[in-house]
Structure 1
């Protein structure tokens, strides 16, 4: 899945209000902690900026049926 600025905006909006559930394109993800959410944000941001991702998967729990 290629991340977009819209995905980064969605995760930043969730962080701003303390939500742990985020919708990305066709996926909805619920993170277990704010730490996981921040890690996901950093990975998405790095990919958008063209850096190589060094972490593992950022989805910890699939909540959608798409």
Structure 2
């Protein structure tokens, strides 16, 4: 599924307005290749840095 990240950009993670190809993991998480070029798992509802606060959201494109 094609996802658009909307929110604060963060280092080695996601960029505001960028489209990512996501894969279902479960009802809470999605896996995608982020700006580092590595596949990582992010929350579907409140994506953000692993050790930080929630910064954004995904829209299905």
Q: TM-score range by the shorter chain?
A: 0.3 to 0.5
Bigger strand share? 2
TM-score normalised by length of structure 2: 0.33
Bigger helix share? 1
- Greater radius of gyration (CA): 1
